Amino acid sequence: MTILDLVSRNAELYPADTALIELKPSTAYRRAVTWSEFNESINRLATALVARGIGREDKVIHLMMNSIDWLICYFAILKTGAWAVPLNFRFTSRDILYCANISEASTIILGPEFVGRVEEAKSGLNRIKHYIYTGIDAQTGMDNLNTLITSYKPNAREISFNQNDVCGLYFTSGTTGDPKPIVLTHKNMMHAAVTEQKHHHQTKEDNFILLPPLYHTGAKMHWFGSLYSGSKATILTEIKPKNILDALHSERGTIIWLLVPWAQDILGELDRGELKLADYDLSNLRLMHIGAQPVPPSLVKRWKAYFPGVAYDTNYGLSESTGPGCVHLGLENEHKVGAIGKAGEGWSTRIVDESGRDAAPGKVGELLVKGNGVMKEYYKNPAKTAEAIRDGWLYTGDMAKTDEDGFIYLVDRKKDVIITGGENIFPVEIEEALSAHPGVYDVAAIGVKDERLGEIVAVVIDPQPGTKLTQEEIANYCEKTLPRYKRPRLIFFDKVPRNPTGKIEKPVLREKYSG
């Protein structure tokens, strides 16, 4: 069975039951589709894609904001045997061009928010044969998504899939600063669905309030638990504390996954009296879980003070493990808040020292995971794949330790990744962009702890001799060269310490500027 089979199964068993709800509070927009309607739209679009020659192992770039149509497009791509290539909606035109060329994509499905960026990159998109536009207005040279869905019959040809067949190419940031392509299979996807459903005990009666971007393996693989259980999910497209509580109230939400900043924002408005729980009926809410970044125990304590009857959980994962769940705290282990948990359903874990031996409890080593969620490979990069996967074990690059009860705690990042609001940023991306500034002699980027976002980007810049730079000048430069979420929030001017081999001494900078 594949996740495609789950869609058709749900359409057969629960045809008139709600599958998905989409909310846009600013316009009072609410759209709901049943499992039957969801399945039919997928099949109609798949038929249209096949009519355009899209089939096995073709690559289809998927560049959309969260919506029901996002999921319809995703499953229609998979139905043809093609690979879905979801892209981060923050990607610049340069990123889009890079990903299109690396993946050798033949088609782009894009929302109205991305027309400008795609047009900017279009001169280099030589392999793209088809553009499918999801907006309501017309775009020259592009098919319209709604027209395709309504014009074709839902008789998509049935394709048999082997569990090891590839179905997804996901881009994550790499040490070079460019997005790194990860190959995922039908087996990976199905494993994620089973794991999520078991971890959170999802049943047909649940309604998962979905907030994070669907291009991210975290959000979509959490939704796979709803798919597996045949339960509904509500996609909230405008994320504000009031909108979140309104959605939980009006849609009778039972499960919600938050990033740390969103939980902080809700608690802040409750603390200040800007929101009042008495205005909402949240009696259906049974679980709040957080992932994608370290979770301060103090945050969970504050949350439980407002929501004492709501269970808490956390999950650890990475794109290379098909998202969350390879390590899982468990609803019954709130007393271990601060830990990321133990091996998840169908997973094994190890923590090894530099010699590859298992580290003793309390000793720090690299976290390794093994299970059916481990990616197939890094696309067209056997050397990097061999480095990351050894004897079936995925080397996560995260440093961790266990306590006396076997619970795993993250200690540090083996690589210098900065996690801000759940998004991974590699310092080299910032350093390379700023190094191109004519007034910059040397630069280092580090993560500085932030209560709301987990970390924020800080840069230390050594100007060219005789050059005087200002914070405003650097900030303006970053606005033109970096996506918003990668721009430094703190700018310092100082010498960049390097060791005898030329490597930046990041611990020295963190000690100096993180205080």
CA–CA dist 351, 406 (Å, integer): 11
CA distance 118 to 97: 8
Q: Average pLDDT for residues 404-431, to the nearest whole number?
A: 81
Q: How do strand 408-413 and strand 393-402 relate by DSSP bridges? A: antiparallel
Q: Does residue 299 or residue 312 have the better pLDDT?
A: 312
Question: Measured on CA atoms in the order 167, 346, 409, 450, is the torsion positive or negative?
Answer: positive
Closest of 65, 108, 57 to residue 83, by C-alpha? 57
Kindly tell me if the per-residue pLDDT of 501 is higher than 50. Answer: no
Can you tell me the mean pLDDT for 430-440?
86
Q: How many CB atoms lie within 10 A of CB 468?
A: 9
Q: Are 7 and 39 in contact (CB under 8 A)?
A: yes
Query: Does the pLDDT of residue 508 top 90, yes or no?
Result: no
Cα separations in angstroms, 221 against 99, 224, 317, 400, 409: 22, 5, 11, 24, 23
Q: What is the pLDDT of residue 413?
A: 64
User: According to the model, what pLDDT value does residue 431 have?
Assistant: 85
More confident residue, 227 or 174: 227
Helix (H, G, I), strand (E, B) or coil at 501: coil
**CA quadruple 414, 213, 483, 470: dihedral sign:** negative
Out of 95-109, 226-240, 269-283, 286-300, which region has the weakest mean confidence (pLDDT)?
286-300
Residue at token pair 């005087």 = 468
For the ranges 91-95, 396-400, 499-503, the lowest mean pLDDT is seen at 499-503
The two structure tokens encoding residue 84: 């879905």
Q: What percent of the chain has pLDDT over 70?
A: 96
| Strand ranges inside 134-275, DSSP E | 143-144, 166-173, 179-185, 207-210, 232-236, 255-258
The pLDDT assigned to 293 comes to 66
Alpha helices in 251-392 (DSSP H): 260-271, 297-306, 382-388
- Residue-range domains of the chain with CATH: 418-513 (3.30.300.30)
pLDDT exceeds 90 at position 233: yes
Per-chain mean pLDDT for the chain: 92
Q: Quick one: pLDDT band at residue 178, thresholds 50, 70, 90? A: low
Q: How do residues 310-342 score in pLDDT, each as one tens digit? A: 999 999 998 999 988 999 999 999 999 989 999
Distance CA 412, CA 366 (A): 10
Residues of the chain with pLDDT > 90, as a percent, come to: 72
Confidence class for position 176, pLDDT limits 50, 70, 90: very low
- Pairwise CA distance, residues 153 & 156, whole Å: 8
pLDDT class of 510 with cuts at 50, 70, 90: confident
How many other β-carbons are positioned within 10 Å of the β-carbon of residue 278? 6
The encoded tokens of residue 328 equal: 């899982």
Residue with more model confidence, 422 or 279: 279
The residue to which tokens 């061999």 are assigned: 386
Residue 76 pLDDT exceeds 80: yes
- 272-276 contact pairs (CB < 8 A, 24+): 274/241, 275/241, 275/242, 275/245
What value does the mean pLDDT take over residues 32-59?
96
Render pLDDT for 368-415 as a digit per residue (tens, 0 to 9): 999 999 999 999 999 999 999 999 999 998 888 999 999 999 876 666
Q: Between β-strands 311-318 and 287-290, what pairing exists: parallel, antiparallel or unpaired?
A: parallel
- Which is more confident, 51 or 424? 51
Question: 46: closest CA among 33, 34, 58?
Answer: 58
Asked whether 223 and 233 are in contact (CB, 8 A), the reply is: yes
**Higher per-residue confidence, 436 vs 446:** 446
pLDDT at 110: 97
For residue 360, is pLDDT > 80?
A: yes
More confident residue, 21 or 420: 21
